[in-house]
Structure 1
Amino acid sequence: MSFLTIDNATKSYGSVEVLHRVDIDVQEGEFLVLVGPSGCGKSTLLNMIAGLEDITSGTISIKGKSMNGVHPSNRDIAMVFQSYALYPNMSVAKNITFGLEMHKVPKAERETALRDVAKLLQIEPLLDRKPGQLSGGQRQRVAMGRALVRNPDVFLFDEPLSNLDAKLRVDMRTEIKKLHQKLGTTIVYVTHDQIEAMTLSTRIAVMNGGFIQQLGTPKEIYDTPANLFVATFMGSPSMNLIPVKILEENGGLVAETTNGLGETIKLPFAAPPTGLKDYVGRTITLGLRAEALTDPDGADSKAVNLVTVKNRVIVMEPAGSDTFVMTEFGGQDCNARMRADVQVAPGEDVDFTINMDKVVAFDPETEDRIV
């Protein structure tokens, strides 16, 4: 049985349904990230788990017990907010232990828990300070300490890193990952940042318009997106989308399109999805990640089906460990991820290698992946 179960949950405001029939099972020790654009319903769902929002229909259960109608204080959850929500007139130590004090936990237990959490989060020198004397990263650690000290069933994080600068956000992301690996806690984490989602999670629920678009591991979400929304939302740069015509040649299937030189090119499939044969003679959308479009020397040596084509460089963007090169397929700008020391220049015609093992096919009308 799952540790946290969201069963056919909906949320309506009046006659407007904003969250539609959500089904998610979270196992004990799992790190689930809810990711999606602003207004997709992810924070609403988190608040429903916390009890801060009523559930309109369906059930939310923790450890087999329904939480419908249960007050937030009786749910054994701890929440870390975007705004930290620290008491400015209390010391760090008092902020961390205040919840325990309200629950009548004996002083000796509170002090032991405080010492353990302060050591874990490396905030021991800060315990006598007030929140106003702390940096953003230190405040976030205190907010996490206040949650950790309670040892709840489920931790809920609501965009906890969005107020931090870019470097600190990366550092805190690593700290949260290390913390989860060390403690094995069950976490539900909300973010609009797909990099956070990919790096932190054991599973991701991609949301849009109040629906779960796809639920899966980071690898499943990245390699086999369920639809065009997931394909373009997850990954940086986002997946290249190329209109191609499916043809049958020599008993196999090929994708026909054009390169940036106006030439017709054909890309053979080694192991096409079963449903692709129904699209022979029709135009579909071919999805291709930037790293699957590269220079010949940078191509995956283990790939079974590599196709090299001549194409024109439009823009070149050195990025330290990689060089991003923009070219064109099917009238669409496409990003290629090449080696850092690749020698190419805008306007130059060079060889691009496509890893056809990694392409994903989408129906342009339904926008769903063809399987």
Structure 2
Amino acid sequence: MGSLDIVHLKKSYGSVQVLNDINLSIEKGGFLVLVGPSGCGKSTLLNTIAGLEPISGGEIRIAGRDVSGLRPADRDIAMVFQSYALYPTMTVAQNIAFGLEMRKVPKPERDAAVKRVAETLQITHLLDRKPSQLSGGQRQRVAMGRALTRNPQVFLFDEPLSNLDAKLRVDMRTEIKRLHERLKTTIVYVTHDQIEAMTLATKIAVLKGGVLQQFGTPAEIYERPANLFVAEFMGSPSMNLVRAGVDPDGGAVTLARGGEPLRLPVKAGRILEGYGGREIIVGIRPEAITEPRSENGADPSVVVSDFRIDVVEPTGADVYAISELGGRQAIGRCSAGYPIRAGQTARLAIHTDKIVYFDPKTEERIG
């Protein structure tokens, strides 16, 4: 396996620029997920790494070697497509071995590679079947098996789970995670599903309009989003983003709500220095608005207050409490046993040490 470095990469179609100065680096054995809304450029970026699309500027380095001008066959990559791309007239074993056969690998080596990969993916019992006799998850395993026989420097996955039903997606996501941890493969994975991104990645690249919005670990992306777009895009439910006024000394923020305004201390005393008397945007994850606990009384970063609950959404282990804060809908996340009812008032605790702040003009995170 090899590292991947993307340096000042640009891609244009005529006068239309679809990728603008992308810089990414993933270590050997890392799992990079490219995520963003439809049309953000993530699939185009994957195709440039694969060599299916020529770049307009910059470099793509695999294991330290510049492959920008090389054909796909010369880049030492393997790609798993959204459509599986299996040959319907071939058996599973023939599909897995096809790439090796095209490279004139001797039959004993091909057979050994197919056996090894089939055992890894637990599809040995399917080797004599045709693709039409397989489920969606089984077809996806076969497509992955064909890539694994290559033992390339980098594996590329183009939304491989998008054609599967919800439960099978979760199962296959676990399989891919387990496979990566066992084989220590270097993977670049495209998805529009931010839950997939958070659960699979060692690093996430969030794209919007061909521009890299943030690059970091899942924890960095989730806890310290670089801007309002990342804050709202990553997370389900997404981060609550509400307007707040800053105290003159920057030590607290005040959020409007029905009845008495809510004043929250700022976790780092000087983070809002220079914003005194101004309006900013406060970001609070739903799990930072929850039921009070006995230990909250000794924690100055926890503010407990009464909220009028508009809607309650049970999800099993948790219940989402929807209220109003800063003139917008705000979602809190409580345990299922907490007695909370729509149309009533409930006490909720806000963990201010988990709040992030954004400049409303630049939309960038403050601090």
Same fold (TM over 0.5): yes
* 1:1-371 superposed matches below 5 A: 3-248=3-248, 253-259=251-257, 261-272=258-269, 274=271, 276-297=272-293, 305-371=301-367
Aligned residue pair count:
366
Q: Is the 8 A contact 2:251 2:270 kept in 1?
A: no
Contact (CA 8 Å) 2:59, 2:66: kept in 1 or not?
yes
For the structure 1 residues 131 and 232, does the alpha-carbon distance in structure 2 shift closer, same or farther, using more than 3 Å as the test? same
Q: Name the Cα RMSD after superposition.
A: 1.5
- TM-superposed deviation, 1:303: 6.2
How far did residue 224 of structure 1 move? Answer: 0.3
Displacement after TM superposition at 1:142 (Å): 0.2
Q: For structure 1, which segment, 224-233 or 102-111, has the greater mean C-alpha deviation from structure 2 after superposition?
A: 102-111
Q: Name the aligned partner's letter for residue 242 of structure 2.
A: I
Aligned letter for 2:280? Answer: I
Contact 2:80 2:157 in 1 (8 A): yes
Distance 2:228 2:180 in 1: 31
TM-superposed deviation, 1:25: 1.0
Q: 1:370 to 1:298 in 2, by over 3 A?
A: farther
Residue deviations 1:142-182 (CA, integer Å, cap 9, x gap) = 00000001110000000000000000000000000000000
1:295 Cα deviation from its structure 2 partner: 1.0
Amino-acid identity (%): 59
Q: Give the drift of 1:301.
A: 9.3
- Structure 1 distance, partners of 2:155, 2:315, is 36
Hey, what's the Cα distance between the residues in 1 that align with 2:195 and 2:40?
Answer: 17
Structure 1 residues 238 and 73: alpha-carbon distance in aligned structure 2, compared to 1, 3 A threshold:
same
Deviation at 1:339, TM superposition (A): 0.8
1:63 Cα deviation after fit: 1.3
CA distance, structure 2, for counterparts of residue 169 and residue 256 of structure 1: 42
In 2, the alpha carbon distance for the partners of 1:254 and 1:227 equals: 21
8 Å contact 1:140–1:160 — kept in the other structure? yes
- SS of equivalent residue, structure 1 residue 49: helix
* Aligned residue type for 1:268: P
How far the C-alpha of 1:302 sits from its partner, in A, is 9.8
Distance of aligned partners of 1:106 and 1:41 in 2 relative to their CA distance in 1, 3 Å threshold: same
CA displacement at 1:100 relative to structure 2 = 0.3
Distance 2:12 2:299 in 1: 48
Question: Could you give the per-residue CA deviations for residues 268-304 of structure 1, whole angstroms, max 9, x where no partner exists?
Answer: 1132463x11111001000000000011039889965
Work out the CA distance in 2 between the residues paired with 1:170 and 1:79. 21
What's the secondary structure of 2:150's corresponding residue?
coil
Structure 2: state its 5+ residue gaps.
none
TM-score (norm 1): 0.96
CA distance in 2, matches of 1:273, 1:361: 12
3-state DSSP class of the match of 1:296?
coil
Q: 1:273 to 1:37 in 2, by over 3 A?
A: farther
Q: Give the letter for the 1:44 counterpart.
A: T
- Contact map agreement 1:303 1:355 (CA 8 A) in 2: no
Q: Provide, for residues 74-112 of structure 1, a one-character-per-residue CA deviation record: whole Å limited to 9, x for no partner.
A: 111000000000001111000000000101111111111
TM-score in terms of structure 2 length = 0.97
The answer to whether the 8 Å contact 1:31/1:188 transfers is yes
CA shift, 1:262, in A, is 2.5
Shift of residue 309, structure 1, vs aligned partner: 1.1
| SS of structure 1 residue aligned to 2:251 | strand
Partners of 1:263 and 1:51 in 2: how far apart? 59
Is the partner of 1:19 in helix, strand or coil?
Answer: strand
Amino acid in the other structure paired with 1:327: S
Residues 299, 355 of structure 1: 8 Å contact kept: no
Q: Give the whole-Å Cα distance in 2 for the aligned partners of 1:309 and 1:300.
A: 12
Instruction: State the secondary structure of the residue aligned to 1:278.
Output: coil
Gaps of at least 5 residues in structure 1 are none
Going from structure 1 to structure 2, the CA distance change for 1:40 and 1:308 (only over 3 Å counts) comes to same
Cα separation, partners in 2 of 1:302 and 1:45, compared to 1, 3 Å? farther
Cα 1:298–1:168 shift into 2, 3 Å? farther
